[in-house]
Structures are given as C-alpha cells and as structure tokens.
C-alpha cells in the first residue's frame, strides 16, 4: 500500500480537526506536482494557476467524500476533479466571449481613437451601415474585423486570444472583409 493511500485511509478514521488538516496538507503535498502538470498541460497561464489552486482546494475539502481503496482510484478521483475545474473555466470563458457592443459605445471608441483624422459624415454613415449589416448577418466577422482594423490587433494577437492558428485568423479576416464588402455593395 502506498503512502498516499495510507494517508487517505488515516484521514477517513481521524476525527480531530487539527489532525485532519495536517493529513490533508500532507496529501496535497504528495499530489500537487502531478496535478500541476495535468492542469498546466490543459490550460495556459495565468488561468492555469487559478484552476490549479481550485483543484487542490477541492481535493482537500472533499477528501471525506472519496470512497475508493486504491491509489489508482484516488488518482482517478483527483483527475476527475481537475477535469471538472478545467471544464468549468472553459465554459465560463465561452460564456464571457465578446458580447456585441452597443452602437453608442462603438461610436465613443471611434471618437476617442488616436486616428490622425476624424471620420467624415459620409464615412460615419457608411461605417454605421456596415456595422449594422455585419452584426445582423455575420456577428463573428464583425468581431474579427473590429479587432483587426479598429483596435489594431495583428493576426498573432487575435490568434492567441481566439485560440486559433495565425493562418486561420488571416484567412478568416480576409473572408470577413470580402463578406463586408459584398454586404455594403
């Protein structure tokens, strides 16, 4: 029997809080290296560090709920907790994706930009019309074009943000630009 499963079994039969906290700390020290590799292999820093801490906390808090008897079962339980925490974070990020910005805020950003010259009235009307068409027919294209042409992000920055390849972003922006030109025409 491994030291890890001995500690887990001892934790189960220990009733005193200080002793349980000490055992939980020792268990976490034994598993943290492997769980760190697992979490950091699935998620990029700095988010990975936060998820890793949540995983360790969840393992420590839920030790009393583990019902297995082998190290293999314990590791499976730990990795399941880690996968759930990773999936929770990915789902949260997907829900937090860039939401459509109200037109007034878009105009405020355009007005506050450090562009060398302001937009003419005709350009403003064309831009407003284009933004409305893109928002209605191709919302993801509007986001890509806005990030590239208004915010000035290059393909690599957008690729990192969207977790896409550089060429994938380059081709997407090219297609979106063509789509925008078609919609405006």
pLDDT tens-digit map of 77-113: 999 999 999 999 888 877 666 556 677 776 776 666 6
Topology of domain 3-95 in CATH is: Rna Polymerase Sigma Factor; Chain: A (1.10.1740)
Q: What does the alpha-carbon distance between residue 17 and residue 38 come to, in Å, rounded to a whole number?
A: 30
pTM of structure: 0.52
Q: What does the alpha-carbon distance between residue 60 and residue 7 come to, in Å, rounded to a whole number?
A: 12
Q: What does the alpha-carbon distance between residue 89 and residue 73 come to, in Å, rounded to a whole number?
A: 25
Query: Token pair for residue 23?
Result: 């055992």
* Closest-CA residue to 106 (of 155, 142, 160, 159): 142
Topology of domain 103-184 in CATH is: Arc Repressor Mutant, subunit A (1.10.10)
| Torsion angle, alpha carbons of 145, 147, 153, 157, to 10 | -100
- Residue 70, classed as helix, strand or coil, is coil
Walk along the chain (185 residues) and give the pLDDT tens digit of each residue: 588 889 888 888 888 889 989 988 999 999 999 999 999 888 887 788 999 999 999 999 999 899 888 989 999 999 999 999 999 988 887 766 655 667 777 677 666 665 455 557 777 777 777 777 777 777 777 788 777 777 778 888 888 888 889 999 899 888 888 877 777 66
Task: Give ranges for CATH 1.10.10 in the chain.
Answer: 103-184
Question: Is residue 134 within 8 Å of residue 141, measured between CB atoms?
Answer: yes
Question: Is residue 115 within 8 Å of residue 122, measured between CB atoms?
Answer: no
Task: Give ranges for CATH 1.10.1740.10 in the chain.
Answer: 3-95
């Amino acid at each position: 029997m491994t030291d890890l499963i001995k500690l887990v079994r001892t934790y189960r039969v220990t009733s005193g809080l200080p002793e349980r906290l000490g055992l939980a700390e020792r268990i976490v020290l034994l598993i943290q290296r492997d769980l760190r590799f697992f979490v950091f292999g699935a998620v990029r820093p700095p988010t990975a560090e936060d998820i890793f801490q949540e995983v360790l906390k969840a393992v420590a808090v839920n030790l009393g709920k583990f019902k297995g008897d082998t190290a293999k079962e314990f590791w499976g339980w730990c990795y399941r907790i880690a996968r759930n925490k990773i999936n929770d974070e990915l789902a949260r990020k997907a829900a937090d994706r860039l939401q459509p910005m109200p037109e007034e805020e878009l105009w405020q950003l355009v007005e506050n930009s450090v562009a060398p010259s302001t937009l003419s009235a005709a350009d403003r009307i064309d831009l407003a019309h284009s933004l409305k068409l893109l928002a209605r027919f191709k919302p993801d294209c509007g986001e890509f074009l806005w990030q590239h042409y208004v915010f000035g992000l290059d393909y690599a920055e957008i690729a990192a943000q969207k977790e896409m390849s550089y060429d994938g972003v380059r081709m997407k922006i090219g297609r979106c630009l063509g789509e925008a030109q078609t919609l405006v025409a």
